[in-house]
Amino acid sequence: MTDSGFRLKGSVVTTILLEIQFFSLNDIVYHLKEKIDQVPHFFNQAPIIIDISKMKRGITLEEFETLIQSVSGLGLGVIGWRCDPENLPVWKSSVTIPLLPASKARAISNAATPKEEVSPDVVVKTVVEERLVPQSTKVISKPIRSGQQVYAEGDLIVLAQVSAGAEVLADGNIHVYGALRGRALAGVKGDVEARIFCKSMEAELVSIAGNFMLTDALQDIVWKDSAQVLLVDDNLEIAPL
């Protein structure tokens, strides 16, 4: 990697982790904005932690404060920062946001679109907080219209279509016994075993535990046919049913 290296980690409902290895403000902001622009709703007003514990060289207080301002300007809420506890910067007490302990979160590779060209200096990954997932099931018998959002703490079963512009979210699995034309996000609290099933795959976005795929990529794999979405070896896969 060169001086623009960093990692962006996050999931739908858990905190995003911006892990910086080499500091280059312009490159960090550019690639972060590029990621947000792919799915604005996915990152809208999301909390973010800045992690400098793996930086190859030091960062000044002025650089760090500029980074915080730039990240906040993208619509993200900086809630804290992390660094190597054995190599704390001398300016640590001057930072207004809290210093947080090291994370025990688990990294999951992001599978956005197969055609996406990513800079070799930038690796985008997703962090999934491991936690218990409730097992309750919500059943929706009516179509979910554009602009509607339906969330289930366990599994979600939709016995009709999900219209374009609609969104369905579940801590567990999502079953759509109709056309899935909107956005479907399963395992939103970190369940990497969650899956999405639909009778006709026409989605704007599908996501499992924060790993997502957009329409363009879906059209190259399976389109307007029954399908399931799952994680295999930490990679998002779409398979016909």
Q: List, as one string, the DSSP characters of 199-213.
A: EEE--SEEEETTEEE
User: Nearest-CA neighbor of 20 among 69, 74, 68?
Assistant: 68
**Residue position matching structure tokens 């801590």:** 171
**Tens-level pLDDT at each residue, the chain (241 residues):** 434 456 555 443 446 778 888 888 888 888 888 877 876 666 766 778 888 888 877 889 999 999 999 988 888 878 788 888 888 888 988 888 888 776 544 333 333 334 444 444 444 444 444 444 445 799 999 999 998 999 888 899 999 999 999 999 998 999 999 999 999 999 888 888 999 999 999 999 999 988 888 888 899 999 999 999 999 987 899 999 8
pLDDT score for 79: 79
Residue bearing tokens 């994680």: 231
84 & 175 share domain: no
Q: In what order do the strands lie in the sheet with 149-152?
A: 149-152, 167-170, 183-186, 205-208, 211-214
Boundary (domain end) residue, out of 96, 128, 160 = 128
* 151: number of Cβ within 10 Å: 14
Tokens of 178: 């109709």
Residues 116 and 17 reside in one and the same domain: yes
| Chain CA centroid to CA 115, Å | 18
Judge if 121 and 10 occupy the same domain: yes
Beta bridge partners of 197: 175, 228
- Residue 65's domain is classified under what CATH number? 3.30.70.260
Spatial distance between the Cα atoms of 137 and 157, rounded to a whole number of angstroms: 7
Do residues 218 and 203 touch, judged by C-beta distance below 8 A? yes
Q: Which two tokens stand for residue 162?
A: 């999900």
Structure confidence at residue 110 (pLDDT): 35
Which CATH number is 232's domain given? 2.160.20.70
What is the spatial distance between Cα 142 and Cα 195, in angstroms, rounded to a whole number? Answer: 21
Q: Judge if 111 and 178 occupy the same domain.
A: no
CA 165 to chain CA centroid, Å, is 19
**Which of 110, 128, 146 is the last residue in one of the domains?**
128
d(CA 51, CA 28): 13
Rounded (10°) CA dihedral 97, 37, 190, 198:
160
pLDDT at 19: 84
**Would you say the C-alpha torsion 241, 159, 112, 221 has a positive or negative sign?**
positive
Q: Which of 107, 128, 149 is the last residue of a domain?
A: 128
Instruction: Assess whether 88 and 114 both reside in one domain.
Output: yes
Host domain of residue 80: 6-128
Assigned token pair, 227: 């399908």
- Picking from 195, 198, 199, the residue whose alpha carbon sits closest to that of residue 185 is 195
Does residue 208 belong to any structural domain of this protein? yes
Do residue 194 and residue 158 come from a single domain? yes
From the list 189, 195, 155, 162, the residue with the least C-alpha distance to 176 is 162
Query: ∠ CA 16-149-127 to the nearest 5 degrees?
Result: 20
Answer yes or no: do 52 and 118 share one domain: yes
Cα–Cα distance, 128 to 122 (Å, whole number): 19
β partners of residue 18: 8, 50
